[in-house]
Chains A and B, each alone.
Chain A
């Protein structure tokens, strides 16, 4: 069965640089979520999109932005990177926003030097 695809899997950036993470949800899933997981931490919700519109916003810094495109893939754009942005970034998708199960991608590990 198709799963959530994330790219790249690993990314190394310098401070103050920009990074773009991509997410391809499971076909026919209408909701995409982004999470940040710091070392030894639980995943923290950043932002979500339902039918290409932003639906909820969590603890996403102003330096980050995201969007969902017409083909339902989503991109998380991160600017002015800081050391503290080093983390595992997960994308998840679901069918029907809200109480339904979310399917997680393998994550993108971002390291900021």
Chain B
């Protein structure tokens, strides 16, 4: 079945540090891949997405590239800010499964 494996947290970084959160997936068919962010006490917000191999999603300085050969969609940001502190979820969906499959989530804390 479809599943997402995500780097376990929590991750604690200093402001302006480089961020990588690893995500790999297993899917039948051709999935779309997503990164969602959840701030404390709030719902899930789409951060970025990619719908086919080699696509790069980007938003707010975050980037992730859909790598079919390694079945990965790692999230990166060159310089994190305190306001980036949140839980990040990698997710996938396919036309075969009418639901979003989420990774376990990675809690990021950025310290000044």
Contact = CB atoms under 8 A, between A and B. Distances in A.
B46 A48 contact: no
Interface residues of A, number: 25
B100 A99 contact: no
Contacts of B51: 99
B contacts with A: majority SS: loop
A14 interface: no
B100 A50 contact: no
A104 B43 contact: yes
Contacts of A102: 46, 93, 100
A55 B36 CA distance: 23
A44 to B, nearest CB: 8
Contacts of A99: 30-32, 51, 93-95
B98 A56 contact: yes
Given A43-B102, A99-B32, A101-B34, A56 B46 contact: no
Of the listed residues A33, A42, A50, A97, the one surrounded by the most CB atoms of chain B closer than 10 A to its CB is A42
Contacts of A106: 42-43
Contacts of B46: 101-103
Most buried by A among B36, B44, B98, B104: B98
B99 A58 contact: yes
A61 interface: no
A45 B44 contact: no
Contact of B98 (A41, A50, A101): A50
5 contacts: A43-B100, A50-B98, A98-B93, A101-B34, A101-B46
